[in-house]
Structure 1
Amino acid sequence: MSQLRDIISGAGAIDSAAADVISSAVGGSPTFWKTRQEKYEEALARAVASVSDDDANVWFDHIPAPDAKPKGRVNAGNRSSELEKRLAFFGVSTLGSWHARYGRDRRETRFRTSFAYTSHEGATSMWLRQGEVEASLRETREWNPDRLRERLNEIRSLSRISKPTRFLKLLTALLAEAGVALVVVRAPSGCRASGASRLIAPDKAMVLVSFRYRKDDHFWFTLFHELGHLLLHGATPFVDDEETNQKDDPCEREANDFAQSMIVPENRIAELESLRPDEDTIRRFAVSLGVSTGLILGQLQHRGLVPHGKLEKLRRTWTWDQIEAAA
């Protein structure tokens, strides 16, 4: 699996042993796969040679990749190898094709962030690409929105489970039945994204989460928000950064409304807003809805009915050790 991951991410090559395995798994002779590797390397070399100095500066200044050197450590001697790492990792041949898939061009990807080019865009694109690589390795059924809708109540009920090692496995399996690969990738330095959703193949959708803040209400709201994008917006690519206010974006409003309805149905909103802000009342209401108390606390705080920082024992906060063990 690690060798396959390296091949997909551009960090590894199809050698004789890998060619034998791929041939047995998907067909084609080992010679065919080794020839494809040779042609890929030739095409990559041509792509590297065609990168202008201006475009190279953009790659080095803004777009990192695993094991790539930062701008200050790039010189004439390693320029080609550093460009090769970035082109291979993102699976593109030009800066333009990178921008079409990972950049802030809203014709392709909708970011809840500033539309100006910023330094964290490259970090976010690396996070996205890491998610795509992992998602491509996951086995799922064919993407089916109706099948996902059928599983929403069961997905929602998993919020009551406290440990990520228990609920993530169940959640991943439920989403895979609907053709959605759930991937957890911790955001690298500079990336402020909480979640993303997109089709990575015509028959496979991806939901990528970063566990930003490590709190249960934030995780589940992010998950429901991304599922809302998949169901409401034709699996159009989205990257969501909760730090940015995009109240004027109708798609974000719709995804937020979807996530809120997953936590508290419309016919229970009045009851939520009239709750007495104490632990026992909130616990009883959460039990009646079949969700965790943290989700109800989050909704009350969002509405200004409970001050931030109060009743925090109702909210679960996980450590990175717990998250990474589950992921």
Structure 2
Amino acid sequence: MIDERNTANWFSKPGDSIRAIMQRRNISAHDLAERLDDGLDAVRSLIDGSRQIDESTASTLSMVLGATAEFWLKRQENFDTAVNRSVVQVRESGHEDLLLRLPAPGQKARGKLSLERRAAEIRKRLVFYNVPDAASWTGRYGRLVGETDYRTSKAFASKEDATLLWLRRGELEADMIQTRAWNSENLVDRLKEIRKLSMIRHPQLFLPKLRTLCAEAGVALVVVKAPAGCRASGAIRMVDPDKAMLLLSFRYKRDDQFWFTVFHEIGHLVLHRANTFVDDEALPGDLDRENEANEFAAECIIPPLRESEFERVGPKRDDIVRFSVSIGVAPGLTVGQMQHRGMLEPDKLNYLKRTWDWSQINPATV
């Protein structure tokens, strides 16, 4: 991976300073949001660089985080100068069209763009991906999805656009979550407690607990609804040297699929260290490592020492519930494993699986 900070035109967002101070002073995103008119949306846009720091915002940042209002205004001014310089250099480098092809938030630019609009669209993408040039973008994201060569492709497939946007939104959400330093052993130590959370019915109750357990091991747990065209269920990535991201989409909105995805992504983190994995059935992946993560997840649900007992569980509600309680997981997870292994027909006992909708999920994602 390219170390973008070694490039001559690297820029640092005011949000980088905001995030560093929040981490150092143990100020949560919610603490800062209480002092801003737009709440968490304002915190998000300040951290991702899409919101300008004006005099009012600078005053609020000074009161909550420290430093003077003048410091924050100057921080914004320096950032704008650096980004504008990057835009000029991109246009002079011949990589302008590459960056304009990248997916970005908001309506897609169509037709012939004026010079001013082209500059604005380039700026939007540099800021959104937090990169100063095309080479840095390629080093960080260029081959995360599919086999597309982003250097030369004339157009992105919609599934790749959507997956890349979902992944980047996850990274931006992870920026708002404070964690301890990443430690895989600490994550493994918390697996037993994580398994127990599957017994809790409502996302509003289990997601905050799951987020806390992950943060204690250096993992920012993020839930982002997948945009149209993205079929990903989960992803992991090292977003900082000492911070991992575990990104979930709640794609199927069923407890067996959700918890299997959680354990599958934890498997990638524990077994495959700092690599990035996007689990999207529409995109190719490393089959060996996917199988390893699948096996890890299955063993998280059905402990190996209980495997022989599991194989004798009958396809009856009471037998499944009794066994599930004895191993400490929700019955829906046992049903899912039985169906996957051919012990139960796919249409049988699905009522034991818990299902949710986004009205239940959304309140727990912030």
Report the TM range for the smaller structure's normalisation: 0.7 to 0.9
Aligned pair count? 317
Aligned to 1:270: 308
Q: Deviations over 1:67-110 (max 9, x none)?
A: 2x314256225222122112111111223322322232xxxx5x
Query: Structure 1 residues 220 and 243 mapped into 2: Cα distance closer, same or farther (>3 Å)?
Result: farther
1:79/1:152 CA distance change after superposition, 3 Å: same
- Compute the displacement of 1:33 (Å): 3.4
Distance in 1 (alpha carbons) for counterparts of 2:195 and 2:112? 48
Q: For 2:141 and 2:322, locate their aligned partners in 1 and report how far apart those are by CA, in whole Å.
A: 44
CA distance in 1, matches of 2:337, 2:358: 24
Counterpart of 1:307 (choices 345, 349, 353) is 345
Per the alignment, residue 53 of structure 2 pairs with 14
Q: Using the alignment, how far apart are the partners of 1:54 and 1:278 within structure 2?
A: 65
Matches within 5 A, 1:146-157: 146-157=185-196
Q: 1:220 to 1:5 in 2, by over 3 A?
A: same
The alignment status of 1:119 with 2:162, answered yes or no, reads: no
Q: 1:185 to 1:59 in 2, by over 3 A?
A: same
In structure 1, which of residues 66, 86, 89 is the aligned counterpart of residue 128 of structure 2? 89
Q: More displaced, 69-78 or 95-104?
A: 69-78
Deviation at 1:58? 4.1
| Contact in 2 for aligned 1:135/1:182 (Cα 8 Å) | yes
In structure 2, what is the equivalent of residue 158 of structure 1? 197
Distance 1:268 1:73, change over 3 A: farther
**1:153, distance to aligned residue in structure 2 (A):** 0.1
Matched, 1:174 2:213: yes
Amino acid at match of 1:205: A
What letter corresponds to residue 82 of structure 2 in structure 1?
A
Give per-residue Cα distances to partners, 1:117-172, cap 9 Å, x unaligned: 53322222211121111111112222222222221101111001111111111111
Q: Specify the code of the residue in structure 2 equivalent to 1:255.
A: A
Q: Is the CA contact (8 Å cut-off) linking 1:60 and 1:70 kept in structure 2?
A: no
TM-score by length of 2: 0.79
- The one-letter code sitting in structure 2 at the alignment partner of 1:178 is A
Amino acid at match of 1:268: R
Confirm whether residue 4 of structure 1 aligns to residue 38 of structure 2. Answer: no
Return closer, same or farther for 1:244/1:271 CA change in 2, 3 Å cut-off. Answer: farther
Q: Distance in 2 between matches of 1:178 and 1:253?
A: 24
Give the alignment partner of residue 261 of structure 1, picking from 294, 299, 312: 299
CA deviation map 1:47-72 (0-9, x unaligned): 223335974444444x32222x3142
| Partner SS, residue 244 of structure 2 | strand
C-alpha spacing 1:192/1:34, structure 2 compared with 1 (3 Å): same
User: Is residue 10–residue 85 contact of structure 1 (8 Å, CA) maintained in 2?
Assistant: no
In structure 2, relative to structure 1, the CA distance for the partners of 1:103 and 1:215 (3 Å cut) is farther
Question: Structure 1 pair 73/326, CA: closer, same or farther in 2 (3 Å)?
Answer: farther
State the Cα distance separating 1:260 from its structure 2 match: 0.9
8 A contact 1:131–1:208 mirrored in 2:
yes
1:55–1:278 distance in 2 versus 1, CA, 3 Å: farther
Identity %: 48
> What amino acid does structure 1 have at the position aligned with 2:308?
A
Aligned residue for 2:132, secondary structure, equals: coil
Tell me, in whole angstroms, the C-alpha distance in 1 between the residues paired with 2:86 and 2:158: 24
1:290 Cα offset (Å): 0.7
SS at match of 1:196: strand
Residue in 2 that maps onto 1:143? 182
Comparing 135-144 with 254-263, which one deviates more in the overlay?
135-144
Q: 1:245 to 1:238 in 2, by over 3 A?
A: closer
CA–CA distance in 1 between the matches of 2:45 and 2:85? 21
3-state SS of paired residue (1:308): coil
How much does 1:323 deviate?
0.8
Deviates more, 1:31-40 or 1:204-213: 31-40
Q: How many angstroms apart in 1 are the aligned matches of 2:309 and 2:94? A: 58
Look up the SS of the partner of 1:285 in the other structure: helix
